[in-house]
Amino acid sequence: MKTSEISYLLNIVKDEKAKSILSAAIEKEEKKESYKMLLKRLQIELLKLQNWVHENDKRVLILFEGRDGAGKGSTIKRFIEHMNPRKFRIVALPKPTPLEQKQFYYQRYFKELPNAGEIVFFDRSWYNRAIVEPTFGFCTKAQYEQFMQITPEVEKALIDDGIILIKFWLSISKETQAKRFYERQNNPLKYWKLSPIDLKAQELWKVIGDFKTKMFEQTSTEHAPWVIVDSNSQKRARINAIKYVLSQLPYEDKDEALDFCVDAKELHLYKKES
C-alpha cells in the first residue's frame, strides 16, 4: 500500500488504535522511500566512479568479509546493481580443489585480481584462512600462522603495485545472525543460502570471535585497514559502505550536494587497543 493510500485511511479511520497502526505504517513507508532515493543517488555516483576507474586504468579490489548472515552478498548487489557489467566482476570462490590445495595459498585469488580499468568485489577472500579454516580444521596451525604473518606484506605488495584495496568486515550480533538463519530456513527462495557450516556458526560464536579479533590485530595495517561496518541494519550498512568507497577515491564530477559522511557509530576503522 502506498503512503498516499495509508494517509487517506488515516483521515477517515476513527479508532485510535487503528490510527496508531496506520501512522506507524506511514513512517515505515517514508523511511523506505527515503532509503531508495538516497541509494539511487549513491548508485549514480558509483557509475561516475566506475567510469573514472575505467578511463584511468585504475585497479580496485574490495573485499567483503563477515560472519555468516552478515549481508555480504546483498551489500555487493547494491554496489553493482546499475554498474556496467563489462567493467566489474564478483568473485565468490568455492572450496579449493585438490590441485589448488597444493598450490601457493594465494594463487587462486591472484588469478582474480582486477585488470586495468576494473573493479573486483570479493565475496569472501583469502581471509578464509584467518577464520573459517582454523575454526573448522581446514588448515594446519602452521598454515594459519604463516598466513597471519605474511598477509600484511602480501597486501602491501599489491598496493605498491597500484591496486586500490578496501577491506570491509560486516559486523552483526548473535541475535541478528540467529534471526537471519531462521528466515533462510523458512524461506523457499533463500534456504539454499544456509550451509551445514552456517548452522554451526551459532555454537561456535566465541571461537569465531576470537579468530576475528586476532585477524584484526595482525592484519589491519595503515596501508590496508579493516573497515568495520555495523550490519545489524542491512540498509544502513549498504549506505555506509557505498559512502565510504565513494569518499576514498578521487573520481570526477562528484555531486557536491550529496553528503558522503558515514555514520561514525556504524562504520569505523579498526584501531588496536593501546
Q: What digits encode the pLDDT tens for the residues 180-200?
A: 999 988 888 888 888 878 888
In total, the chain counts a number of residues equal to 274
Task: Give which of 125, 121, 106, 22 is closest to 62, Cα–Cα.
Answer: 121
Name the phi and psi angles at 59, rounded to 5: -125, 115
Q: Do residues 121 and 76 make contact, with C-beta atoms less than 8 angstroms apart? A: yes
**How many helices (DSSP H) and strands (DSSP E) are in the chain?**
11, 6
Give the whole-angstrom CA distance, residue 110 versus residue 113.
5
Q: What is the DSSP letter of 161?
A: T
pLDDT for residue 211 is more than 50: yes
Q: Do residues 171 and 216 make contact, with C-beta atoms less than 8 angstroms apart? A: no
Whole-model pTM? 0.88
Report the pLDDT value the prediction gives residue 194, as an integer from 0 to 100: 80
Crossing angle between the packed helical segments 16-55 and 3-12, to the nearest 10 degrees: 170
Q: Do residues 120 and 112 make contact, with C-beta atoms less than 8 angstroms apart? A: yes
Report the pLDDT value the prediction gives residue 19, as an integer from 0 to 100: 47
Least confident of 21-35, 170-184, 188-202, 260-274: 21-35
Give the whole-angstrom CA distance, residue 87 versus residue 115.
9
Give the whole-angstrom CA distance, residue 89 versus residue 119.
7
Domain boundaries, given as residue ranges, for the chain: 36-269
Q: Do residues 231 and 70 make contact, with C-beta atoms less than 8 angstroms apart? A: yes
Please state the rounded mean pLDDT for residues 155-170.
98
Give the whole-angstrom CA distance, residue 264 versus residue 112.
32
CATH topology of domain 36-269: Rossmann fold (3.40.50)
Burial annotation 208-219 (CB, 10 A radius, 16+ → b, else e): beebbeebbebb
Average pLDDT, the chain: 91
Give the whole-angstrom CA distance, residue 214 versus residue 148.
9
Q: What digits encode the pLDDT tens for the residues 93-107?
A: 999 999 999 999 999
pLDDT for residue 3 is more than 80: no
pLDDT for residue 54 is more than 70: yes
CA torsion 223-238-265-25 (nearest 10°) is: 180
